[in-house]
Structure 1
Amino acid sequence: MIEIKISNLSNGEFNRGVFAVQDIPKGTLFHSAPVIPYPNEDHEHIEKTILDDYAFSYGANHTAIVLGYGSLFNHSYTPNAEYDIRFDKHSFDFFAYTDIKAGEEILINYNGEVDNDDPLWFLDNEKD
């Protein structure tokens, strides 16, 4: 249902994103990504590595590395996907927030909520 391809939105070292292989109707669960959680106080070690760019908040006391394609979605303030943290399954479940067409890049809001337009730590207060 999804694949990794070169993204025109990403200008980082890897320039990749997650794309729909087929049409994905609004509300569809299209990816369930397992996580590796760790206590927030251990994050100081992760901050010294490239993994810092891929870490997600995981509740009040933990941070997590999201596996699968979970850490490869690019950001948008007008995302076409959203995610739910499933603590019971230790996963992030990704759903289509809008209808997503085959070939379209799948985007999430890095702030966690679809309509949260708070500035991101790496964008110098710019919005897309």
Structure 2
Amino acid sequence: MGPICIKDTGKYGRGLYATRDIKKDELIEVSPVIVLPKEDWGHLEKTSLLYYSFYWGEDDTAIALGLGSLYNHSYTPNINYENNIENLSIDFYALHDISMGEQLTINYNGDLEDKSPLWFDVIE
């Protein structure tokens, strides 16, 4: 079993939580992706999958499989992610030490410093 599990947050639906202490820079999850070329963007926009997509390269989009699409948003995340183009995956790493039971979050804007508004009201 990996260091994460799915739980109901009670407020934001499902979320991912640490099942043990996780060390800074530890690789937490490698989520394989399905890459959608920019030509598919118009179709994706008409589906709820849009809200689970990641930027992939300059023009494409990716849908993370595994647990990758279940991380909730935070402007002060404890997880960062990198697109692994060669491996066709999104790799999730701990930004700092994380305690067992803590919810794992990413910044949906992709950049840790980006506090741009999202498509939903952010409550932190």
Q: Identity over aligned residues, as a percent?
A: 47
Preserved contact between residue 77 and residue 127 of structure 1 (Cα < 8 Å): no
Consecutive unaligned residues of structure 2, counting only runs of 5 or more, are none
- State the match for 1:88 in structure 2: 86
Counterparts of 1:17-28 in structure 2 under 5 Å? 17-28=15-26
- State the match for 2:43 in structure 1: 45
Q: Of 63, 68, 71, which aligns to 1:70?
A: 68
- 1:116 aligns to what SS in structure 2? coil
- 1:53 aligns to what SS in structure 2? helix
Structure 2 Cα separation of the partners of residues 47 and 5 of structure 1: 28
One-letter identity of the residue aligned with 2:33: V
State the number of aligned residues.
122
- State the match for 1:3 in structure 2: 5
Give CA-to-partner distance per residue, 1:63-119, whole Å, 9 cap, x none. 010111100000000001100111011111000011111111000000112221122
One-letter identity of the residue aligned with 1:95: Y
RMSD between superposed Cα atoms in Å: 1.3
Kindly state the Cα deviation for residue 127 of structure 1 after the two structures are TM-superposed. 5.8
Structure 2 Cα separation of the partners of residues 7 and 59 of structure 1: 31
- 2:51 aligns to what SS in structure 1? helix
Which runs of at least 4 in structure 1 moved beyond 3 Å after TM superposition?
none
Give CA-to-partner distance per residue, 1:1-22, whole Å, 9 cap, x none. 1011101341xxxx10011100
Consecutive unaligned residues of structure 1, counting only runs of 5 or more, are none
